[in-house]
Amino acid sequence: MDLLDLNRSALDLNLKLWADLDEAHLDLPTPCAGWTVYELLRHQVESTLSFTAAVTGAPVAEPASDDMLTAYRAASDAVTEAFRGDGVLERVMEFPGYGLRPGKSLVAAHFVDNLVHAWDLCRAIGVDSTLDTEPATAAYRMARYYPTTPDVRGPGAAFALPVDVPEDAPITDRLVGLLGRSPNWSA
């Protein structure tokens, strides 16, 4: 599966999970420190809109709806279209807070973020959080190159510091551990 297809698969996984949510889920805690399910959903919508803006050069759009599923569906379609634009993977562009990045890196970051947030959501609502092997392995390989600088990892950064996970652990556990989540997290 190529990078653009991997990204779309992570979006589609989230859309499927979101469609099964009800009002009672929104206040549940998530593995993302201090975030409820609703705050996680809002982050994914806003983040996806930010990635679209970085690629298109347009200002960050407002969510299409107050309903997070509707807003994420619209944002997912917009970012997919933007990422699939001519030459996007090779073009270097500004991503606020992270400087100039090649399009391929932006797509990879969006993919990893959305895939791991699908795991966060599964853990929060108590459903099987095992990620499919192919996308989890791809995300793990990409995330291994994330810097360990304080602007990327640690308190207030995009990711927590890595959590020790055995090398022979399932790929889902290794991926979430690499990005600062305990594979055993529960509400």
Q: In the block, which residue shows the tokens 């809109």?
A: 49
Please state the pTM of the whole predicted model.
0.95
CB burial string 70-96: b at 16+ within 10 A, e below: ebbbbbbebbbebbeeeebbeeeeebe
Cα–Cα distance for residue pair 97/119, rounded to 1 Å: 25
**In this structure, is residue 28 part of a structural domain?**
yes
Domain total in the chain: 1
**In this structure, is residue 186 part of a structural domain?**
no
**In this structure, is residue 154 part of a structural domain?**
yes
Give per-residue pLDDT as tens, 99-149: 898 999 999 999 999 999 999 999 999 999 999 999 999 999 999 988 877
* CA end-to-end span of the chain: 33
pLDDT at residue 96, as a whole number: 74
Task: Residue 106: give its domain's CATH number.
Answer: 1.20.120.450
Confidence of residue 154 (pLDDT cuts 50, 70, 90): confident
Structural domain boundaries, residue 123: 3-178
Cα–Cα distance for residue pair 53/45, rounded to 1 Å: 12
Q: Residue 100 pairs with which residues in a beta bridge? A: 94
